[in-house]
Chain A
Amino acid sequence: MAVPLQFLAVSKSFPRGRDRVQALQELELSLAPGTITGLLGPDGAGKTTLMRLATGLLLPDSGRVLVFGADTADAGSRIQDVIGYMPQRFGLYEDLTVQENLDLYADLQGLGREASRDRQQELLKLTALGPFGSRRAGALSGGMKQKLGLACALLRTPRLLLLDEPTVGVDPIARRELWEIVQGLRQEGTTVLMSTAYFDEAEQCDAVILLHEGRLLAQRSPQAFRAPLAGRTHLVRHDALSRRRLQESLRVRPGVLDARILAEGVRVLLREAAPPRAAGEHWQEATPAFEDAFVALLGAGAGAKPAEDPEPGGTPDSGLPPDGAQAPENVIEVRDLRRLFGNFEAVASIGFEVRKGQIFGLLGANGAGKTTTFRMLCGLLPPTSGSLQVAGMDMRHASVAAQARIGYVSQKFSLYGTLNSRQNLQFFASAYGLRGRRRTERLAWALREFQLEGYQDANADELPLGIKQRLALACALLHEPPILFLDEPTSGVDPLARREFWQRVNGLAERGVTVLVTTHFMDEAEYCDNLVLMSLGKVLAYGSPQEIRAQARTAEQPEPSMDDAFIRLVLDHESGLRRAS
């Protein structure tokens, strides 16, 4: 059997402004028939370019791309007969109904009427989209859109299926369903190549391709990725120090490649097997995960190094009382908060409290009501009912005064794309009313603290996503707000940039800044002190990450992940609803 996909010394570059950006360089790879291969890499590694080259929608500058032995340069239409492709924006016609979309793609792929009807039935059952046949694709939830996109790509059982980040922004339940569909394709002999930002998905693949700056870093099985790390990963706990202090101390120790905060302690990845222990610490060996391999190969501390010098007057060791000794001051108090849009209840009577210096998470899938809750907390949207206190002020009346004490990073980062980094900072400094020496100092601080010196003259539009996110955070912190609101700050950002970002947020919390953050990455819950898990406008669970995970503990699953916990809680909640009705 011919190799499903083969790249032979493939290079591809794109013009940007006056020069060219090298997207892929001398890339060599091939996929084994009937396997699922994961494609991972930081932003700008060339994942989407690789996918498009495989479809024949892009041609290489040099080298050859072969699909089942046929060169994409001269057999484009023959190749498109045997592949299925789901682009990042899944290519659905939003004005068309589910059925119409399926009909369109069935006809485009030249399926006969009979064959098409049978296959559609099968796919509708598989994706559980049957009841939504006459609903417009634009009115589907994110997860359903993804499933429909996948169904359209699967209509004429492709021999090679290319999926570009099919699980981004999808809730854990839909993500799991998508995975089941993809894994079912193994039986049909389909070869799958999918790019993903989730490490747990990488672990389920037969092989993983790691791409970095357009080059192939490694291609092997997930087990082979993890093997060299045996004995190098540990979970560290400390008798007295907080997790954040402990992490600060571990991270800079010689021999430590990476230190990551978990709810239970700090996970450490070592260069060598011998751990550099210190007094009061409990080291426990942990099983290496794919994420560790990713960091070991790519990160090696790159970019994840913190700002050398934290804010003057607020260094971690400046004698602040340890956690717990602080007076428990509630910075945010929410009670019975509701918001209706017409008859639709976007937020249904939620309540929580956030103490000073805490990182508080709002977790949930798209459409759970996170952003609505968030806007109400920022004073951008009036609640329908309920009480809302931020920094001791009632957001329903004193929102402007409270807003001066809030730093806000929105989902889209709200930067001016045609201004350069320095101009963006200057603009926000003016917007916050900074003047004179303070302004000069804060601007210099922002450039230094967020390592933006090298990007001062680059327009915000041209910055990589990770840098953009840093700049947005710097802008939001110029006026030294005691409260920081972050709305999906890590959405679409690659795993390394996400870690670095959380590193910074942890540093801020350590200095007493209260952080409220929304995310749809369940694993990011580990960074939070407390969180609420939301679904369909309701709070499913409220507590620390350990507490929430404990709620989902069962005999079969003694150590559920946050993903597992979410799925369990949502299913319980829904069956509860069914019983109640």
Chain B
Amino acid sequence: MNAQRLRRLVRKEFIQIVRDPSAIAIAFVMPVVLLFLFGYGVSLDARHVPVAMVVDAPTAETGTFVGRLQQSPYFTPLPYPDIHAAQQAVMAHRADGILWLRNDFSRALLQGGPAPVGVQVNGVDANTARILEGYIQGAWENWLEQRALDQGTPLVVPVVPDTRIWFNPTVRSRDYLVPGLIAVIMTLIGGLLTALVVAREWERGTMEALMATPVTIGEILVGKLVPYFIMGMGGMGLTVALAVWLFAVPLVGSFWVLLVFSALFLLAALGMGLLISTVAHSQFVASQVAVIVTFLPAFILSGFIFDIHSMPAPIRIVTHVIAARYFVSILQTIFLAGDLWGILLTNGLALLLMAVIFLGLTWRRSHKRLD
């Protein structure tokens, strides 16, 4: 490995990155767009859900209950005069559910018997429907409890679940989505961008000229690895900074541990990118292959959005060959739970294995030949 040649190759790569708008788009613009999308736009939580309120006979009791809902960040109660108007509102998508306090509500309540509350939920979006159902129930129980406390009478409920949510007490989906994005962004730079830039050298004929010089294949490979490794780590740093300071995601574990495991994952991603480029010598094919075998799996099959345990068994098996899966698990652990070495080391070992396999294959498949 000749230092002069290597230094120049790395420098050339950086100049190209800075001057090529498409490289900047993939390395900087897309990560930031993804961050803002997942930090602000996409949320798997239900907040400010519009709920149609129908109160047949307003009393002091119904008043406190409605007031309670109005204060909650989860609901936006919308009053409707009768149940038909409320149903129309649901059909017109003005409300996602109906809360119906019938005219016997206060009487049943004062008599101490069960006071039924009518709840109708639009089930088209199953996820929101289930969340809404749970929230309304929670709000209702909360109100009953408060009321019992006010009146000094003990609330008679046979079983009271004492729920405690670990690691993400406020149940904010942003707290696990944003760290998971690091895996996606590093895949973007290590897999897609790397495969593209090597394919571009083939396409423009520069690879042929490069190979006809005394440069070695190792220098060409390392000359690609180093710049995109630096870029990938930069992308990681940017994401962590925005996650912690802008989106207020807690970083429970240590940053240095995060750095080490990120580097490991990035090597695996770069290995994939370079391996793709040994097969695909046109930018079109390289981008298709890279999106399908690196980017999409990092999104869908890594557990970043969709829980791996709830996937069908065959797909669960497939996820084992996806490097991002191990990294997402590491990320969520470090961010939300801390440096749990048991989890980190097993997943880290898998990443190491994949990095060695991909880089090793690339090394073996690369020759200073055109055929």
Other than the known A55-B212, A93-B206, A108-B210, what 11 A-B pairs have Cβ atoms closer than 8 Å?
Answer: A57-B211, A80-B214, A91-B204, A91-B206, A91-B210, A92-B206, A94-B204, A95-B19, A105-B213, A107-B8, A110-B4
Q: Within the complex, which residue of A58, A90, A108 is in contact with B8, where a contact is CB–CB below 8 Å?
A: A108
27 contacts between A and B (CB under 8 A): A14-B371, A52-B370, A55-B211, A56-B212, A56-B368, A57-B211, A57-B369, A58-B370, A58-B371, A77-B216, A80-B214, A87-B205, A87-B212, A89-B204, A89-B205, A90-B209, A91-B209, A93-B16, A93-B206, A94-B204, A95-B19, A96-B16, A100-B15, A104-B8, A110-B5, A136-B19, A152-B209
Which residues of the other chain, A, contact B7 by a CB distance below 8 angstroms? Answer: 107
User: What string of 1s and 0s marks CB contacts (under 8 Å) between A96-110 and chain B?
Assistant: 100010011101111
User: What string of 1s and 0s marks CB contacts (under 8 Å) between A391-405 and chain B?
Assistant: 000000000000000
A541 within 8 A of B: no
Query: Which residue of chain A has the shortest Cβ distance to B203 in the bound complex?
Result: A89
A76 within 8 A of B: yes
Assembled-state Cα–Cα distance A149/B204 (Å): 13
Q: How far is the CB of A117 from chain B (nearest CB, A)?
A: 14
Assembled-state Cα–Cα distance A191/B352 (Å): 50
Known contacts A57-B208, A57-B369, A58-B369; A81/B214 CB under 8 A: yes
B150 within 8 A of A: no
Chain B interface main SS type: helix
Query: Which residue of chain B has the shortest Cβ distance to A152 in the bound complex?
Result: B209
Assembled-state Cα–Cα distance A107/B10 (Å): 12
A362 within 8 A of B: no
Q: How far is the CB of A78 from chain B (nearest CB, A)?
A: 9
Which residues of the other chain, A, contact B210 by a CB distance below 8 angstroms? Answer: 91, 108
A428 within 8 A of B: no
- The answer to whether B208 touches A108 (Cβ under 8 A) is no
A83 within 8 A of B: yes
Q: Which residues of B contact A (CB under 8 A)?
A: 2, 4-5, 7-9, 12, 15-16, 19-20, 204-206, 208-216, 368-371
Assembled-state Cα–Cα distance A55/B210 (Å): 11
- The answer to whether A100 touches B213 (Cβ under 8 A) is no
Query: Which residue of chain A has the shortest Cβ distance to B208 in the bound complex?
Result: A87
Which residues of the other chain, A, contact B206 by a CB distance below 8 angstroms? Answer: 91-93
Chain A interface residue count, Cβ-Cβ cutoff 8 angstroms:
35
A59 within 8 A of B: yes
- The answer to whether A57 touches B370 (Cβ under 8 A) is yes
A376 within 8 A of B: no
Assembled-state Cα–Cα distance A107/B7 (Å): 9
A39 within 8 A of B: no
Which residues of the other chain, A, contact B5 by a CB distance below 8 angstroms? Answer: 107-108, 110
Q: Within the complex, which residue of B16, B209, B211, B213 is in contact with A95, where a contact is CB–CB below 8 Å?
A: B16
Q: How far is the CB of A195 from chain B (nearest CB, A)?
A: 15
User: What string of 1s and 0s marks CB contacts (under 8 Å) between A276-308 and chain B?
Assistant: 000000000000000000000000000000000
Query: Which residue of chain A has the shortest Cβ distance to B215 in the bound complex?
Result: A108
Which residues of the other chain, A, contact B368 by a CB distance below 8 angstroms? Answer: 56-57, 76-77
- The answer to whether B4 touches A57 (Cβ under 8 A) is no
- The answer to whether B370 touches A109 (Cβ under 8 A) is no
- The answer to whether B205 touches A59 (Cβ under 8 A) is no
Assembled-state Cα–Cα distance A39/B370 (Å): 21
A477 within 8 A of B: no
Select the residue from B4, B213, B215 with max chain A CB neighbours within 10 A.
B213
Q: Within the complex, which residue of B12, B205, B209 is in contact with A96, where a contact is CB–CB below 8 Å?
A: B12
A85 within 8 A of B: yes
Known contacts A96-B16, A103-B8; A110/B214 CB under 8 A: yes
**Closest 10 pairs between A and B when the two form their complex, measured CB to CB:** A91-B209, A89-B205, A107-B8, A85-B212, A108-B213, A95-B19, A87-B208, A55-B212, A57-B370, A80-B214
Assembled-state Cα–Cα distance A56/B5 (Å): 20
Which residues of the other chain, B, contact A149 by a CB distance below 8 angstroms? Answer: 209
- The answer to whether A80 touches B212 (Cβ under 8 A) is yes
From 2 to 42 in chain A, residues with beta carbon under 8 angstroms from any chain B beta carbon are 14
Which residues of the other chain, A, contact B15 by a CB distance below 8 angstroms? Answer: 95-96, 100
Q: Within the complex, which residue of A14, A86, A94, A110 is in contact with B209, where a contact is CB–CB below 8 Å?
A: A86
Q: Within the complex, which residue of A89, A90, A95, A108 is in contact with B214, where a contact is CB–CB below 8 Å?
A: A108
Which residues of the other chain, B, contact A83 by a CB distance below 8 angstroms? Answer: 212
- The answer to whether A91 touches B214 (Cβ under 8 A) is no
Q: Within the complex, which residue of B16, B205, B216, B371 is in contact with A91, where a contact is CB–CB below 8 Å?
A: B205
A88 within 8 A of B: yes
Q: How far is the CB of B224 from chain A (nearest CB, A)?
A: 14
Select the residue from B2, B7, B208, B370 with max chain A CB neighbours within 10 A.
B208
Select the residue from B214, B368, B369, B371 with max chain A CB neighbours within 10 A.
B214
Known contacts A57-B370, A93-B12, A95-B20; A109/B208 CB under 8 A: no
Which residues of the other chain, A, contact B204 by a CB distance below 8 angstroms? Answer: 89, 91, 94
Select the residue from A14, A76, A96, A108 with max chain B CB neighbours within 10 A.
A108
Which residues of the other chain, B, contact A96 by a CB distance below 8 angstroms? Answer: 12, 15-16
Assembled-state Cα–Cα distance A96/B210 (Å): 14
User: What string of 1s and 0s marks CB contacts (under 8 Å) between A132-160 and chain B?
Assistant: 00001000000000000100100000000
Which residues of the other chain, B, contact A107 by a CB distance below 8 angstroms? Answer: 4-5, 7-8
Assembled-state Cα–Cα distance A150/B368 (Å): 22
Q: How far is the CB of A19 from chain B (nearest CB, A)?
A: 16
- The answer to whether A109 touches B213 (Cβ under 8 A) is yes
Assembled-state Cα–Cα distance A109/B216 (Å): 11
Assembled-state Cα–Cα distance A90/B215 (Å): 17
Assembled-state Cα–Cα distance A152/B20 (Å): 22
Which residues of the other chain, A, contact B215 by a CB distance below 8 angstroms? Answer: 108
Query: Which residue of chain B has the shortest Cβ distance to A12 in the bound complex?
Result: B371
Which residues of the other chain, A, contact B8 by a CB distance below 8 angstroms? Answer: 103-104, 107-108
Q: How far is the CB of B337 from chain A (nearest CB, A)?
A: 44
Assembled-state Cα–Cα distance A91/B7 (Å): 19
Q: How far is the CB of A474 from chain B (nearest CB, A)?
A: 29
Select the residue from A14, A55, A92 with max chain B CB neighbours within 10 A.
A55
Query: Which residue of chain A has the shortest Cβ distance to B17 in the bound complex?
Result: A95
Assembled-state Cα–Cα distance A90/B210 (Å): 10
- The answer to whether B12 touches A85 (Cβ under 8 A) is no
Known contacts A93-B12, A108-B5; A77/B208 CB under 8 A: no
Assembled-state Cα–Cα distance A103/B216 (Å): 18
Assembled-state Cα–Cα distance A134/B218 (Å): 30
- The answer to whether A57 touches B212 (Cβ under 8 A) is yes
Query: Which residue of chain A has the shortest Cβ distance to B2 in the bound complex?
Result: A110
Q: How far is the CB of A57 from chain B (nearest CB, A)?
A: 5
